[in-house]
Structure 1
Amino acid sequence: MHKHSRRLLRSIGLVCALALGATACGDSDGESSGKSVSESDIKAALEKGGEITVWAWEPTLKKVAADFEKAHPKVKVNLVNAGTNADQYTALSNAISAKKGVPDVAQIEYYAIGQYALSKGLTDLSEFGAGKLAAHYSPGPWSAVQSGTDGVYALPMDSGPMALFYNKKVFDKYGIEVPSTWDEYVEAAKKLHQADPKAYITADAGDAGTTTSLLWQAGSRPYSVTGGTNVKVDFSDQGATTYSDTWQKLLDDDLVAPIAAWSDEWFKGLADGTIASLATGAWMPANLESGAKDASGDWRVAPLPQWKEGGKSSAENGGSSLALPELGKNEELAYAFVEYANSGKGVKTRLDEGAFPATTEDLQSSTFQETKFDYFGGQQANKIFAESAADVADDWSYLPFQVYANSIFNDTVGKAYVSDTKLSDALKSWQDASIKYGKEQGFTVE
């Protein structure tokens, strides 16, 4: 994993762009930034037609691509699944490095945008007027596609505002109140495990995405990037301390099941009630419905517990975007597709297919919010998700080498889940390893 991620970062040109001081490693045509593509240019391109290749694993895009082709008969969309997240990033990075076979559009998760944007691997969509779409999106996703810079490097496709999914049947059985704070969550964990030693409040074997999301919600800002190459990594702020002190209580008393997410054992626990809650993104319902069918009607959704009584803060967990790799072709057609899929008629298509929106109009619509989930006993869970989306702070940043940082999470923070290593010390180890790697790649890191 370590060596794989090191090659991944090098192949997208970070060493080239930073350590060697080369300019625009991903720019093959020498075009200067600041060019402008008008709506009439895009319309003309659609009328002329052509082909675009889209690399994405998101299943709802299949219908979107078909609808786009019907609306624009002269355009052919080649939808390719080049692998999910890290697998696709490896393929994309290799294509960029070889300057061959680069797709016109690529699905990229929010945490990974920075590494491609910084190495000039992505087209700045500001030149297509993407900045005007800012108000269309909820704060977290829009902030993420800007990647700590002045540009817009993708359009948000979906989002993952967090909520607490909990098994009401289990909570009711043991008289457990739905926690409104994380301190109450710890007490609920104790009560549940004492009542049934086989049951746990949640499962957590160490997950980088969950940890960074909870840090985000707690007010921690461990990462900052200024001037493109000046990076700060610091897990010693108050938000990080608040998170680690609270989560440490769960680990010390063995109150979380040491089961890896997405494993068969994990889904079994969700289905039989031995895993009684999850703090995760709003994209989770479809996964519960398919992976824990036997628990239909048992589960409910509640607002994410707060770090302070009466607080109102949330965070994003997961979510991805569609971007235009700089070496792709047919930029006008590619951008037209991305805007259609993520801001136009394609949004409704994806929602009808089960996606969760990043668009404020859809999040706030009565149709969306009043949708009843049979799995959650008829609950209108989207109301909770929409409120969570509005409560996400928009000043969170990821590292421009977050893919690598996440890949070493289990080698650092993960030790707190399998040994006596304290979570605060494990976070410091993650910090030190990330700083070391950043310096090796030519960043100025503190």
Structure 2
Amino acid sequence: MANLMSAFARILQQRNHFSRLLLSILCVFSLLFSCGCGTKDSRTQISVWSWEPSMKRLAEEFELNNPDVHVTVKDTSGYNNLNSAIQDGYGMPDIVQLEYFALPQYAVSGQLLDITDRVKNTRTFYTPGTWSSVQLGGRVYGLPMDSGPMAWFYNDDVFKQAGVDATKIHTWEDYRQAARKLKDIGVYIAADSGDASFYNAMIWLAGGHPFMTSHDGKTVTVRLSKDKGTEEFTKFWQSMIDEGLIDIRTTTWSQRWKNGVGAGKIASVFSGAWMPSLLLENVPGTAGLWKVTNVPTMHGEKRNAEMGGSSLSVLKSSRKPEAAMRFVNFVCHDMRGIRTRVNG
């Protein structure tokens, strides 16, 4: 009997030890769980969709000066993505980068926040052209980020291999002769798979006026086949394509295009003045090889056009418009943010 009681006592002792061990483990888990809950980010969360290479760095600098706000940057581009998010009603950013030609389309459909009263003292900070580009009907729907006066960016190393001095190219015929020499070494002077913004800019450069509006703005007339500038550029560019001097299979900004530019198989690009930072971002291996000069015109006229340029806008659906506007101001109006973008 004594032996039985002794064995029973040992079992109880072991069970009590196990219970204390289990309780200790539970306490540790409870402590860890409570600590995890305590680290929840209480900052105001805003999201930005932008293709600007310096945007993530801008977000970091903004957060240093605005510790109550956290900015998530996604390099989402392409208006199809934005349109899908708007149509689905979820997954939309608070802030979106829009090219000037696209901004009115989203403003007129009621997707953008009217910030007119928030930016009354910023109008004179911008050039008249960029400021007018963020307005519709006298109301402001974004702040200008940049402008797009056209320039010709070219890989000087590749041009030299072909025996071409790009600084001496002033006319379309000069450009054609250079393209032929580049073709002889297996290089395209440019790629164009049908980019409408490029075509529009080049028509502008040629002095074309294919679009007309009525005085009340309700009627738009498109005269692509009857406008002199449009006809002249179209004829020239088609002749370049027919001669096999333009890569028509490669879409600008596609991976194929980046690979072609990086390998020196596509030697130049007509673009807005915003191009350098994007070249550094997308084809860093060619840094130092590129130069820039004026875009050649039909007869060497001193003329230019604009291509691109963009703004930052706050979507009307944003639940944090105040924090979003603080970030837009930092990027587009605060000299600290502007310096960061200029420095790449």
Same fold (TM over 0.5): yes
* RMSD of aligned alpha carbons: 3.0
- AA partner of residue 67 (structure 1): E
- AA partner of residue 191 (structure 2): A
300, 304, 307: which one pairs with 2:291?
300
Structure 1 residue 339 corresponds to structure 2 residue 333: no
Structure 1 residue 320 corresponds to structure 2 residue 314: no
- Paired position in structure 2 for 1:422: none
- Within 5 Å, give how 1:28-39 maps onto structure 2: none
- Residues 159-196 of structure 1 deviation map (CA, whole Å, 9 limit, x = unaligned): 33321122323333443242122232123223433x43
- Paired position in structure 2 for 1:158: 146
- Residues 222-262 of structure 1 deviation map (CA, whole Å, 9 limit, x = unaligned): 44566565433332322212221221220221211233123
Residues 186 and 79 (structure 1 numbering): CA distance in 2 closer, same or farther, change over 3 Å?
Answer: same
- Paired position in structure 2 for 1:240: 230
- Paired position in structure 2 for 1:202: 190
- AA partner of residue 293 (structure 2): A
The offset of 1:113, in angstroms, is 1.0
- Paired position in structure 2 for 1:212: 200
62, 65, 73: which one pairs with 2:59?
65
Is 1:118–1:228's contact at 8 Å kept on the other side of the alignment? no
Give me the whole-angstrom Cα distance separating, in 2, the residues matched to 1:266 and 1:87: 20
The offset of 1:290, in angstroms, is 5.2
- Paired position in structure 1 for 2:117: 127
2:134 is paired with a residue of what secondary structure?
helix
- AA partner of residue 260 (structure 2): G
- Residues 20-73 of structure 1 deviation map (CA, whole Å, 9 limit, x = unaligned): xxxxxxxxxxxxxxxxxxxxxxxxxxxxx9735233134533333333333334
The offset of 1:102, in angstroms, is 5.3
Unaligned runs of 5+ in 1: 1-48, 355-446
1:232 is paired with a residue of what secondary structure?
strand
Give me the whole-angstrom Cα distance separating, in 1, the residues matched to 2:85 and 2:255: 30
- Paired position in structure 1 for 2:273: 282
- Paired position in structure 2 for 1:365: none
Give me the whole-angstrom Cα distance separating, in 1, the residues matched to 2:239 and 2:128: 32
Give me the whole-angstrom Cα distance separating, in 2, the residues matched to 1:111 and 1:170: 33
Give me the whole-angstrom Cα distance separating, in 1, the residues matched to 2:92 and 2:209: 34
- AA partner of residue 168 (structure 1): D
The offset of 1:121, in angstroms, is 2.0
106, 110, 116: which one pairs with 2:100?
110
Give me the whole-angstrom Cα distance separating, in 2, the residues matched to 1:269 and 1:295: 11
Give me the whole-angstrom Cα distance separating, in 2, the residues matched to 1:284 and 1:351: 12
- Structure label with greater radius of gyration: 2
- Residues 295-318 of structure 1 deviation map (CA, whole Å, 9 limit, x = unaligned): 44443211222244232313123x
Residues 278 and 66 (structure 1 numbering): CA distance in 2 closer, same or farther, change over 3 Å?
Answer: closer
1:124 is paired with a residue of what secondary structure?
coil
- Paired position in structure 2 for 1:440: none
1:322 is paired with a residue of what secondary structure?
strand
- Residues 394-443 of structure 1 deviation map (CA, whole Å, 9 limit, x = unaligned): xxxxxxxxxxxxxxxxxxxxxxxxxxxxxxxxxxxxxxxxxxxxxxxxxx
Give me the whole-angstrom Cα distance separating, in 1, the residues matched to 2:272 and 2:118: 30
Q: Aligned residues, how many?
A: 296
* Aligned residues with identical type, % of pairs: 34
Give me the whole-angstrom Cα distance separating, in 2, the residues matched to 1:52 and 1:306: 48
Residues 101 and 170 (structure 1 numbering): CA distance in 2 closer, same or farther, change over 3 Å?
Answer: closer
Give me the whole-angstrom Cα distance separating, in 2, the residues matched to 1:69 and 1:292: 29
Unaligned runs of 5+ in 2: 1-41
Residues 220 and 124 (structure 1 numbering): CA distance in 2 closer, same or farther, change over 3 Å?
Answer: farther
The offset of 1:215, in angstroms, is 2.1
1:111 is paired with a residue of what secondary structure?
coil
2:295 is paired with a residue of what secondary structure?
coil
The offset of 1:329, in angstroms, is 3.2
- AA partner of residue 137 (structure 1): Y
